[in-house]
Structure 1
Amino acid sequence: MPADTPVPPQGIAGSMPGIQFIFATALPLSPEQITLYRLQLAAPVNADSARQVAEQWGMQNPTIYDTGSSESPDDLLLDASDGVNLMRFVNFADQFLYWPNYASVLDDNGPILPFDQQVAIATQYLQDLGVLNDPYRAVPVAEERSKVRFVQLLDGIPVIYSIGTNRGSSEWIDVAVDSAGQVTEVTYAQHDFQPIGQYPILTAQKAWQRFVSENTLQHANYAVLSPERPVTYQSWARNSAYQPGQAVDIYGYVNVTQPVIPGDSAWVSINNMSVNADANTFSSANPWDFIHLWGEIAQRDNGNLSVDMQGWEVSLLSDDILTGTIQRQGDQDLFSTKTGDYLLPDLPENYSDGALANVRGVIIQGSPPAIEWSNIDTGEIPFYYGGVMSCGGGGGGGGGGPEDANFGGGSMSGFNLTGETVVPTPVAGNPYTPGDSIEAVSGIPYIAIYQYASGLQEEKIYFSPDSNSGLAAEVGYSLEGVVLGGVLTPNLPVRIWGQVDRYESDTSTVVINVTRFEPVYPGVQLQQWAGTEEIANVEGQEVILFITTAGQTYVTSSSLQWPAQDLLMGRPGDLIGIEGYIIPDQLYGGYAVIKETGGEMPPDDVIQSAQPSVYDPSMFGEFDQSQFLVGQVTIENVELAYRSISLQRCTSDYANSQDSEQSLTVQPVWVFTGHFADGRQFQLQVQALPDEYLY
């Protein structure tokens, strides 16, 4: 890089008028041009490719299993295991989680090694496997006790996949090292970046000016994180306390994982420990059954432990989590809680007396009673805001009060790599463009009032269109327009006219400017009735009949669409209140139909569903960010980075989707990091491509 430029002047940004920015570092110059890359997606993982990778990482004769579970129904998950080590592949053979000793995955305790020692151990481990072949730098992961993140350097420039702190995200390579210097977990996701051409970029100075000049961020993302705090969390797994030949009673959930290749053995485990038993033994158990299993601890040739099962039953004891303190008293270890004291067998020697702990297990009655525990944890993991992008979009989390606000925002423009003037395409995920006409669309309005800690109040009107309205179902809708002021009744259907005003990508919401509206049922108002419910067969269908205290009988609208037995507010015959309206000109089996909008038990005299819903946004992570974007921020570091999506929500066929070219393009961004005067962390990423290459 060329020499630094002078320190930029102090100032404020149009999107953050409450912050005074100062720089404690100079702004680096950038190269005149930079190579842009596009991420190439690999073929889907299969049994052969999974086995090949597992063997490369040291497994002997691994079996490949179909996990049958995922956060996303589109994910392809395969497990490779030799009964001790577990490698979980996510969609690709080059993206996986690896646990060298899966039975101890929840064992994370003891003194933390110095970071340079963690780096040395993790680096040697990866080099021995032949998988650390690209230039890199190593950094700690803020929300982890002892994890090294290897950041890939592409043309000497770091590749980033997120903003804020994203514990557990799949970036490039993360390696966890325990207090004994053993690698306990690896997160691995190899990205195949292919060059697509040379492009000019903005200097850091011009990127900062781009950020400062925008009142609404269109070329930048930012994050505000609470002040750094140490990770005090520690955990102990009972599995690590077992000894070969020990008779054990284990309580937990049995997992039977089926092999991909017929003829291979299923894998049976409980609390992450392998069980030496025929999988068919558990054919009568349900996956959600809490199991009591007994047997003897066996030691494998490689020194790892499993359990030789002698018998099992569905436990009559419950799976409990209790909070209290642990004290060593002579040869006994006592766990003191609000409900009493309990003995804890096999307490780890390195557990510190007096610390507040959570203990998971079952209570065995006695004098005193004991807890047959499976896990113990103490301390805390500090939480910070994080946002990560992947195929099809991204996600983030945050929240907190003024002293611990974690949040982020902003948006980035799409790419126009031809440099030619084009008509902007709709934002990915938005089926509309501004100005699109909305004509006589019927639906239900919902009114929300957000009351912020600063005293400000904001009203939003959400709109749920009828299923036959013709509006796209994959997005949400909100309404604006002076004609709406104070005259809409929540939950009463209306018909609207207007135009699409904009698309809010952070909530996938289409905002409609309403120029005219009318009630679908003129003169109909929300009412409340008191009465009882019963299930009856009417015209061959089980429905809920609502009999009012005045002797009128109605059919509830919801029971015409969903199973009646799932919709009872209480028990048949209980006195309840139902809010709603009678649907004009609709009868079912000779009964008028009530469209329910609310209910209560016992009934009261307030029609709650006719009132706006009032929220304290800080309770669920949405709050007035401007009240926290105040004070002085000192920018301490500025660097150029490549910003890529993560592979964690990608599948091979995504490359054929309409918006894949945008998502898979790796773009340059200038990254500004610093702190508020009160210790909060500030991060900013600004697009570095000139305007002619962006929409």
Structure 2
Amino acid sequence: MNTPFMDNGSKELDHFQEGDSFNLPEEEQWLAEELIHVARLNPPDSRFVNTLSLKLRQQHPANQAFKPASRRLWFTLAGSAVVILIALFGLPFLRQPGQTVTVVTDIPTIETTIVSSQPTEPINLPVLPMLGPSSVMASANLGEQFPDAQWTLQAELPSSPASAAVYKTKATGDLSIETVRQLVDQLGMKGEIYKGTSSQPDFQSFQVIDGKSFLNVYGHNMSFNYLPDVFKAKDDHGAPLKFETMSQKAVGFLSNKGLLNFNYTVEPGILFARQVHIIRLLEDNVPLRPAEPADPDFVVTVGSDGEVLEVRGRIIQLKKQGDYPLRTASDAWKTLLDGQLGGRFGYQIARLYTSPPDDRTWARQFEAGDRMELIDVPEVLTTVDGKQSVVRLNNYNLEGDFSGINLDDQQLMHVTGTLASDARVIVETIEPVSGEPGVETLGFTGILRKDNTGFAIQTMDGKLFPLSDAPEDLPDGEPVSIAGRLSEDGRVQWTSIFAGSSVCATFSSSFSYFNASAGGGGGGGGGGGEGDMCSAYPDLHGNVITGGFDNLQPGTPISAEPHIETPYKHGEKVEGIEGEITGILLVKTDGTRVPQFSLVVENKDTGNRWTAGLRGDTLSGLESHLRMMIRLWGTYGMEGGNPVIKVDRWERVDPTEKVSQWIGTIDAFQVDSKNAYVLTINDGTQFILKNSMNNPPEAFTHPPTSPDGQFYVEGVLLKEKIQGYPVIREIQFSGGQPDQTQEFQSTRLMEVGPLEGVSDLVSGQVNITGARLVYFSMDFGARIDDEDHPTRILQPLWEFSGTLEDGRKLSLFVQAVEEQYLK
């Protein structure tokens, strides 16, 4: 169903091979937490939350999941998740000819639109990073990458330009209040600026509330989300306007706000028919394609009445590096076929569907004086000067007596009150929700049924629930997702409704790369599993798979030869080295399962860790000892810049060691002059979580939280003690308590797959019908990447696009800058 998601097997693979626990690295943790924070700003959105609920119930029966965690997913992934939980890495998105309406403005960009000049003298040009290593074991050329494809060039290759500009994205640094205020003024808002709530102290975000208008600004790349009316955005059930009309409305809105200070082109949205994409054009009107296809410079949602419902955007700061000579398109194509690129090309394969025009939504509207009943997790926001605070729930400001209520513990609350104005609720009662409300009492997915008494929803398990005060224009017999609750009389008291074929649509975006030693790359896929509900719409499943440009792989160090400190040299003997064993299970497309093991070695003096992949014929049985300490002998080597050990023999360091589980609270303490997390179980016993002592200082300013304050910890109880405390080498911990039948997760080989071989992605006749110059950007790390990081360089690429025999769209991308300017 309409639940875009990220299939990022490569990143999961990296984490497990590195032996990391389920605690995310800092740069990923702040993003993950902020995604959750953003999602929480909106009440449960029927477009996403009921779909997710359905899939979770299908894939993870109740006796196999943490119930508190399921509840947390319900509330935190709602709302904006539908537009942001897509793969964060990729290449320029593919477009069919004729879909784009180009509108080039006359307004110059502050730093990006620069009058073309003659190429700089070569001696003065900085050397640029290659987008792939100088040699690639598995895919040095197109023929080796896709051996079963036959290529036919049907496009006239452009003979120009001979040179093109190269740009560098600026590090945004900390987001200033002045910058936020400037954007607030541009949008015509008058509200206070509130500090974002995040447990990651180095991540900045700000919220602005002005009646029904809401703005969220993020510091890592100066991106923002603006809703002129948070309630109207969820209540649009008229037919979408023609794209030409929507694009005029979107452009007019952004222009009036002073946000279109660059040349641009407009394109239809990918996920929904009401969206307009604004694509930046650089010199000579060459498009800057976003790394994520659904996230260009601006995404504008236009309602059926022509009003703008939402704007998602980002402020990119570019600096021109110079004009570089280009290899010709003809030379790039020839070199691509001849295999002389050394892996310096990328590809993108897309299966697209036409956005259904019936993504209709209804939201219950209230007027001043109406009685209200709300159920959700409240949030306390404080102004940047610390002088004021506001309690928010479901986009309403709550006013009342909150004494005796802890609003900071992320608890589900039941609120009753009266609407005093556009977004203010005078609270009469507020109390925690008792028990664990089942998803069937908070949301419903199924088919709309109409009879002489009104509308009802027939759920996936065949139950029929009548809707209270149902809108008259609901589509009978269509798929529907409803956010609401079941009242005592058995009727659904709905808060929002999403109906039509769009409920059944799925879209995924993934990154796939091939590594000879790893045995394959990750793939992306659509959805399914909706049963009869979506049987009338079998083709609304799209996906984009991107690969190549090995130096820009997500989840790996972006450098040709990552430097890893180990005490060994290639070919040296390893004698009795000790480390923790980790592993994964690669699942190939034919169902074959291949276990892969790694040894995580820690320097006891420095705390530094390094990981070696294990090779050889003596690894049988290691799957029974995951997360245990083993001692091994063998020969050290390097594969693709990564350490490996060919194992001769191995043994357990301590055969009595075992994985256990604990439930309790986690607090940050000072132990032995170091920061550490301390687990306190129900009988009062306290344990030091050893791996937490390697966390950065910021991790202890805001220790982890969970809805009920409880954590489930898997780990190994060590024989050592620190200042008298027993010590656990924690493997993973998560909020809530496990079901009684819960199996240990940390001692299971995680399945990665099914893996689709890269060579199988493209086969048969491929007709290349288009060729042009493009740029692409990867601004995911705009705040955290180093100034000289390869992802900061916007280089021109030759794009060769065409169609596969099964109708999928293909683009190949080749670095256009001449070889002598690459390193």
Q: TM-score range by the shorter chain?
A: 0.7 to 0.9
Matching residue within 374, 382, 385 for 1:250: 374
Match in the other structure for 1:218: 343
SS in structure 1 opposite 2:508? coil
Q: Is residue 771 of structure 2 the alignment partner of residue 643 of structure 1?
A: no
Distance 1:274 1:235, change over 3 A: farther
Structure-2 separation of matches of 1:85 and 1:297: 17
Q: Displacement, 1:288?
A: 3.0
Matching residue within 379, 383, 393 for 1:259: 383
Query: Superposed, which structure 2 residues align to 1:467-546 within 5 Å?
Result: 468=604, 473=609, 477-480=612-615, 482=616, 490-491=625-626, 493-495=630-632, 498-499=635-636, 501-503=638-640, 511-515=642-646, 517-519=648-650, 521=652
Show CA shifts across 1:55-105 (max 9, x none): 22111x3200012138x6632101122132111111179532111112344
Q: Is residue 283 of structure 2 the alignment partner of residue 147 of structure 1?
A: no
Structure-2 separation of matches of 1:453 and 1:436: 36
Q: Displacement, 1:119?
A: 0.7
Verify the 8 A CA contact 1:15 1:215 in the aligned structure 2: no
Larger Rg: 1
Gaps of 5+ in 2: 1-115, 117-140, 513-520, 529-540, 665-677, 682-686, 693-709, 733-738
Distance 1:124 1:447, change over 3 A: closer
Q: Which amino acid aligns with 1:194?
A: K
Match in the other structure for 2:319: 194
Q: Which amino acid aligns with 1:374?
A: T
Match in the other structure for 1:209: 334
Q: Displacement, 1:123?
A: 0.9
SS in structure 2 opposite 1:512? strand
Verify the 8 A CA contact 1:223 1:408 in the aligned structure 2: yes
Q: Is residue 488 of structure 2 the alignment partner of residue 355 of structure 1?
A: no
Structure-2 separation of matches of 1:259 and 1:222: 46
Show CA shifts across 1:346-402 (max 9, x none): 433432122222222221112xx12222232232343132569xxxxxx99833599
Q: Which amino acid aligns with 2:384?
A: V
Q: Which amino acid aligns with 1:462?
A: S
Q: Is residue 799 of structure 2 the alignment partner of residue 677 of structure 1?
A: no
Structure-1 separation of matches of 2:565 and 2:163: 35
Structure-2 separation of matches of 1:608 and 1:179: 48
Q: Displacement, 1:298?
A: 4.3
Verify the 8 A CA contact 1:135 1:156 in the aligned structure 2: no
Structure-2 separation of matches of 1:84 and 1:247: 18
Match in the other structure for 1:342: 465
Match in the other structure for 2:216: 88
Verify the 8 A CA contact 2:361 2:496 in the aligned structure 1: yes
Match in the other structure for 2:758: 625
- Aligned-residue CA RMSD in angstroms? 4.9
Q: Which amino acid aligns with 2:614?
A: L
Verify the 8 A CA contact 1:30 1:202 in the aligned structure 2: no
Structure-1 separation of matches of 2:196 and 2:742: 48
Distance 1:344 1:515, change over 3 A: closer
Verify the 8 A CA contact 1:326 1:334 in the aligned structure 2: yes
SS in structure 1 opposite 2:249? helix
Structure-1 separation of matches of 2:377 and 2:284: 48
Q: Which amino acid aligns with 1:358?
A: S
How many matched pairs?
607
Q: Which amino acid aligns with 2:417?
A: G
Matching residue within 410, 414, 425 for 1:292: 414
Distance 1:608 1:131, change over 3 A: closer
Query: Superposed, which structure 2 residues align to 1:255-654 within 5 Å?
Result: 255-264=379-388, 266-275=389-398, 277-278=399-400, 280=402, 283-300=405-422, 306-316=424-434, 318=437, 320-330=442-452, 332-337=454-459, 338=461, 340-366=463-489, 369-378=490-499, 379-386=503-510, 398-399=524-525, 406-412=544-550, 426-427=559-560, 430-431=563-564, 436-437=569-570, 441-454=577-590, 458-466=594-602, 468=604, 473=609, 477-480=612-615, 482=616, 490-491=625-626, 493-495=630-632, 498-499=635-636, 501-503=638-640, 511-515=642-646, 517-519=648-650, 521=652, 613=749, 615=751, 617-618=753-754, 622-646=755-779, 648-651=780-783, 654=784
Structure-2 separation of matches of 1:296 and 1:74: 38
Verify the 8 A CA contact 2:782 2:792 in the aligned structure 1: no
Distance 1:413 1:449, change over 3 A: closer
Gaps of 5+ in 1: 2-10, 389-394, 415-423, 504-509, 536-540, 545-556, 570-577
Match in the other structure for 1:98: 226
Relative contact order higher in (CA < 8 Å, ≥ 6 apart)? 2
SS in structure 2 opposite 1:75? coil
Verify the 8 A CA contact 2:661 2:712 in the aligned structure 1: no
Verify the 8 A CA contact 1:251 1:290 in the aligned structure 2: yes
Structure-2 separation of matches of 1:626 and 1:434: 37
Distance 1:207 1:281, change over 3 A: farther
Distance 1:50 1:693, change over 3 A: same
Match in the other structure for 1:574: none
TM-score, L = length of structure 2? 0.63
Q: Displacement, 1:15?
A: 1.1
Verify the 8 A CA contact 1:29 1:203 in the aligned structure 2: yes
Higher strand share: 1
SS in structure 2 opposite 1:102? coil
Show CA shifts across 1:13-71 (max 9, x none): 22111222223322212322222222223453233331232122111x3200012138x
Distance 1:257 1:350, change over 3 A: farther
Distance 1:39 1:543, change over 3 A: closer
Match in the other structure for 1:166: 293
Structure-2 separation of matches of 1:434 and 1:95: 43
Q: Which amino acid aligns with 1:146?
A: R
Distance 1:17 1:118, change over 3 A: same
Distance 1:396 1:31, change over 3 A: farther
SS in structure 1 opposite 2:306? coil
Q: Displacement, 1:558?
A: 10
Q: Which amino acid aligns with 2:632?
A: R
Q: Displacement, 1:484?
A: 5.1
Show CA shifts across 1:394-447 (max 9, x none): x99833599977533212559xxxxxxxxx995486546999557554223345
Q: Displacement, 1:559?
A: 9.0
Match in the other structure for 2:355: 230
SS in structure 2 opposite 1:156? helix
Structure-2 separation of matches of 1:189 and 1:445: 43
Structure-2 separation of matches of 1:324 and 1:406: 28
Q: Is residue 788 of structure 2 the alignment partner of residue 660 of structure 1?
A: yes
Structure-1 separation of matches of 2:579 and 2:341: 31
Q: Which amino acid aligns with 1:626?
A: S
Structure-1 separation of matches of 2:396 and 2:651: 61
SS in structure 2 opposite 1:626? helix
Match in the other structure for 1:32: 162
Verify the 8 A CA contact 2:145 2:759 in the aligned structure 1: no
Structure-2 separation of matches of 1:411 and 1:85: 42
Show CA shifts across 1:591-641 (max 9, x none): xx999999x99999xx9999x9484712xxx43333333233222322111
Moved more, 428-437 or 133-142: 428-437
Structure-2 separation of matches of 1:532 and 1:81: 44
Q: Displacement, 1:244?
A: 4.2
